[in-house]
Amino acid sequence: MSKIKTAFFCQQCGYESAKWSGRCPSCGQWNTFVEEKIQKDIPLRNSSWKQPELSSAADNIVNLSEVSSTEDERLITGDAELNRVLGGGIVPGSLVLVGGEPGIGKSTLFLQNALQLSQITTLYISGEESAQQIKMRADRLKIQNDQFFLLTETSTQTIFQEIKKLRPQLVIVDSIQTLQSPFIEAAPGSISQIRETTAEMQRFAKETHTPVFLIGHITKDGAIAGPKILEHMVDTVLQFEGDQHYAYRILRTIKNRFGSTSELGIYEMTGYGLRQVTNPSEILISQREDQLSGVAIAATMEGMRPMLVEVQALVTQSVYGTPQRTATGFDLRRLQLLLAVLEKRGGFHFGVKDVFLNIAGGIRVEDPAIDLAVLCALLSSYEDTAIGSKICFAGEVGLSGEIRAVNRIEQRIAEAEKLGFDKIFISRYNKQGAHSGKFNIEVAPVGRVDEVYQQLF
């Protein structure tokens, strides 16, 4: 009987150590080392799933000039939002990791997409739910697909045996934390198990050119559970996020070897599954009849998609000695920077005011072009004067109070015109890229914050 080998693994980054340590030398976190059983001396470890005809070509060395540069044809799903965040469809042989909070709708999203792909054979591997539970969810979606197959199993050895029989064209694993490799003696969900099962799925995807989706849990800090090396191993990392109290969900690209990392897809959770939101500007701008102060519309970009979002600000007299600064969906440090610009360059006394800022719709915006709308919403609430509902803004604000140019200005103007806005404020230095003759909307170029204030108030 061979001696059981153990090692200590960091729960944050996956660093392996022969002995326990209080502080991880790799990521610097404290009290993250746990002891796990390991087994490294099994010779058949890499051949648990391989087809016999594929093993001979695995070690061939080729010259770079001999490699064909033609891309494989992507698999286009029926979900335009998923196609967008993946860079134009599913790439054959790609390994995609999807993370999100419990109950946010990860399983529903990929079960729905798999059922819609009736032209290919799909295998859905579930380690968390029974076949009856998945059938009940599929009945609510009301989608029929005879090429959809289900496997409720956690052992990778059994999974690859079934894959050899079925030969699916798409594999979905829900979730990677429940899988268990027979070559590792640690418990399912441990660092070594997650790393080994992901490596087995990676070898399978690359050598059979079968796309694999891995659904993963997240920690209480919001990061994907498991070692950080997990995100380096996969080709694409998607984050499915949203407030459970809102109906809208956002699928965001964190990493993508086959496309842009700044794309996002928006869904609405309904009783019959997730509905694609093709025009997000309509849901991010509240429908209101009365003119209210502290509201400004910003023309922002998420990847290649222009959107109009509503910025809401509330400025009140501070009751307690220290003024409060609260921002939802916007960087708090950026808000403090804009308040300092208004204090220094404009002479507004925000130092004795409580300031609350909110991006409507429950989304988070990091585009610097939203600065001008945030600043105008703050001024509107400070002066208690409403900004016209048909006016929007696109500009970055500098520390000296100047309004800087932003990218893709023509797409922002076109989106504002499409939604019926009459006027858009942009930077004077963007005027070359925004020919007013091309648009029916009035384009107002401004160079400094005081010019915007004089025109609005």
The answer to the question of residue 67 being in a domain is no
Check which CATH number belongs to the domain holding 432 and give it: 3.30.230.10
**113-165 residue pLDDT tens:** 999 999 999 999 999 899 999 999 999 999 999 999 999 999 999 999 999 99
pLDDT at 341 over 80: yes
- Which positions make up the binding site for ATP? 100-107
The answer to the question of residue 61 being in a domain is no
Let me know whether 177 and 216 are in one domain.
yes
- pLDDT at residue 59, as a whole number: 58
- pLDDT at residue 358, as a whole number: 94
Measured distance CA(66)–CA(147) in Å, rounded: 37
- Which positions make up the binding site? 100-107
pLDDT at 93 over 80: yes
Let me know whether 268 and 299 are in one domain.
no
Let me know whether 304 and 376 are in one domain.
yes
- pLDDT at residue 54, as a whole number: 44
**170-180 residue pLDDT tens:** 999 998 989 99
Strands 325-328 and 353-359: parallel
The count of other CB atoms within 10 Å of the CB of residue 317 is 8
- pLDDT at residue 457, as a whole number: 84
Let me know whether 12 and 105 are in one domain.
no
pLDDT band with cut points at 50, 70 and 90 for residue 57:
very low
Full domain range(s) for residue 22? 1-39
Among the ranges given (137-141, 242-246, 364-368, 399-403), the one the predictor scored with the smallest mean pLDDT: 242-246
Check which CATH number belongs to the domain holding 113 and give it: 3.40.50.300
- pLDDT at residue 56, as a whole number: 46
- pLDDT at residue 43, as a whole number: 45
- pLDDT at residue 351, as a whole number: 86
- pLDDT at residue 287, as a whole number: 65
pLDDT at 314 over 90: yes
pLDDT at 447 over 50: yes
Domain boundary among 229, 263, 278: 278
- pLDDT at residue 66, as a whole number: 82
Let me know whether 264 and 410 are in one domain.
no
For the chain, the domain total comes to 3
